């Protein structure tokens, strides 16, 4: 073809960066659902309803953990669910969630003291300062990547969460979806460290800043376990929460006079 007849074509793709991959889709797909998501976030009462879904799911997960590892302690988490129901704004709701999480980590610490050679005193991150925290942080990060993919496939804006506020360069909706999976991942990580022939203390290294990370040998055990059963453990509660969110958004969209539900 003569140079004067050549045509240059540019293909544009809407992409959202994720951990280790790019997820691309057409921007016009599910636009009404995303519009409803934005409207819900902008309305304090509607956002509170959706954020409460997140906290209830997380509290239920922590109650189940307590029921399995500290029978009787689960009642505190059910009381927290009642407090979450009475919270009048997202800030108060986050206070309820935070207090319950402190109790969950205390239960987790007692479990480590009884059943393994590892110590878990409190949650530390950036950097994690002990072996359980190192694996918990790694598991959370991997699970968040799956949460991002779930949100994008559903057609939602991954940066618009309900419990987690908008923040630059943060996938707030993925963090929302991750919440009910955290306690289940805590139990899974404990299993990796407490069972015989699993990850051992010698498979960790400590940096000058106190950060604890897995060695190559440790990673060789962790990642196969993650892709065998860890990610499935994380996906189930995240999918359940997402289904509830989508149902709530679709119901709101169908009752909206501006945007129909066809």
Residue 7 has pLDDT above 50, yes or no: no
pLDDT at 195: 82
Residue 26 has pLDDT above 90, yes or no: no
State the average pLDDT over residues 30-40.
Answer: 94
pLDDT at 2: 52
pLDDT at 241: 98
Residue 207 has pLDDT above 50, yes or no: yes
If you write DSSP's letter for every residue of the chain in order, what string do you get?
--GGG--------EEEEETTEEEEE-TTTTHHHHHHHHHHHHSHHHHHHHHHHHHHHHHHHHHHHHHHHSTTTHHHHHHHHHHHHH--SHHHHHHHHHHHHHHHHHHHHHHHHHH-S----S---SS--SHHHHHHHHHHHHHHHHHHHHHHHTT--TT--SSSPP-TT--HHHHHHHHHHHHHHHHHHHHHHHSTTS--GGGEEE-TTS-EEE-HHHHHHHHHHIIIIIHHHHHHHHHHHHHHHHHHHHHHHHT-SSS---
Report the mean per-residue pLDDT for the chain. Answer: 89
pLDDT at 253: 73
Per residue in 138-193, pLDDT (tens digit) is 999 999 999 999 999 999 999 999 999 999 999 999 999 999 999 999 999 999 99
pLDDT at 19: 42
């Amino acid at each position: 073809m003569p140079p004067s007849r050549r045509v240059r074509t540019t293909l544009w793709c809407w992409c959202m960066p994720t951990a280790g991959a790019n997820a691309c889709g057409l921007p016009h797909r599910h636009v009404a659902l995303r519009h409803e998501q934005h409207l819900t976030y902008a309305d304090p009462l509607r956002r509170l309803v959706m954020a409460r879904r997140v906290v209830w799911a997380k509290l239920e997960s922590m109650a189940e953990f307590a029921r399995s590892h500290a029978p009787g302690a689960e009642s505190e988490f059910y009381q927290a669910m009642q407090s979450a129901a009475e919270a009048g704004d997202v800030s108060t709701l986050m206070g309820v969630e935070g207090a319950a999480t402190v109790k969950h980590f205390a239960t987790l610490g007692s479990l480590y003291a009884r059943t393994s050679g590892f110590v878990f005193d409190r949650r530390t991150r950036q950097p994690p300062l002990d072996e359980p925290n190192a694996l918990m942080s790694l598991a959370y990060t991997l699970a968040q990547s799956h949460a991002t993919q779930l949100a994008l496939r559903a057609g939602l804006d991954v940066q618009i969460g309900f419990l987690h506020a908008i923040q630059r360069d943060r996938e707030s909706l993925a963090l929302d979806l991750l919440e009910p999976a955290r306690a289940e991942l805590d139990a899974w990580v404990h299993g990796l460290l407490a069972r015989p022939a699993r990850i051992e203390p010698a498979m960790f290294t400590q940096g000058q800043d106190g950060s604890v990370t897995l060695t190559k040998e440790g990673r060789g055990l962790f990642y196969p376990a993650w892709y065998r059963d860890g990610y499935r453990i994380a996906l189930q509660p995240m999918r359940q929460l997402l289904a509830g969110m989508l149902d709530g958004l679709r119901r709101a969209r169908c009752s909206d006079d501006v945007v129909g539900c066809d």
